[in-house]
Amino acid sequence: MAASPMNSKVILVVDDEEPVRLFVSTLLERDGYAVLLANDGKHALEVSRHYTGEIRVLLTDYKMPQLDGLQLAAALTDERPGIGVIIMSGHLSRPEELAGSEITVLPKPFSISQLLQAVKNLR
């Protein structure tokens, strides 16, 4: 689904594993969200900079090449204040970086209902 600037429920999904990215985006689209996709942190920043509408949520994998999920979240929240952030991870190597942040961690593996609830809690 191509996100439109008029859609107020746009989610940027970032994961370097295509099957995960496509599965998550399919679930979100079925629940009525518009989804923008990126295959890594640098690509996500490009997608965000070219999208003129509001992006409500960044849903990103933690461990990715180049920019990890925390680095991406920091860059994107600077550019888009107020964006909600969910980091999907089986293991955070630097959990201390989340102390005091408003970042939601969605532990892998997660259920469909856990994914949708995490997103609903941020919008």
Q: What is the mean pLDDT of residues 3-30?
A: 85
* Number of domains forming the structure of the chain: 1
Whether residue 23 lies inside any domain: the answer is yes
Whether residue 118 lies inside any domain: the answer is yes
Res. 4: pLDDT tops 80: no
Whether residue 4 lies inside any domain: the answer is no
Res. 1: pLDDT tops 70: no
What type of residue sits at position 47?
Answer: V
CATH of the domain at 36: 3.40.50.2300
**pLDDT band for position 100 (cuts 50, 70, 90):** low
**pLDDT band for position 102 (cuts 50, 70, 90):** confident
Query: What is the Cα 2 distance to its own chain's centre?
Result: 16
What is the pLDDT at residue 94?
A: 60
> What is the residue-averaged pLDDT of the chain?
87
Residue scoring higher pLDDT (48 or 4): 48
What is the pLDDT at residue 89?
A: 86
> Tokens at residue 74, please?
């920091």
Contact 12, 36 (CB under 8 A): yes
Could you read off the pLDDT of 34-84 as tens digits, one per residue? Answer: 999 999 999 999 999 999 999 999 999 998 988 989 899 999 999 999 999
Whether residue 1 lies inside any domain: the answer is no
Whether residue 3 lies inside any domain: the answer is no
User: Domain span at residue 102?
Assistant: 10-122
CA distances from 36 to 54, 60, 109 (A): 11, 12, 22
Whether residue 2 lies inside any domain: the answer is no
22 Cβ partners below 8 Å, 6+ apart? 37
CA-based nearest residue to 122, from 25, 7, 36, 11: 11
Query: What is the β-pairing status of strands 84-89 and 57-61?
Result: parallel
> Tokens at residue 79, please?
């550019």
Query: What is the β-pairing status of strands 34-38 and 104-107?
Result: unpaired
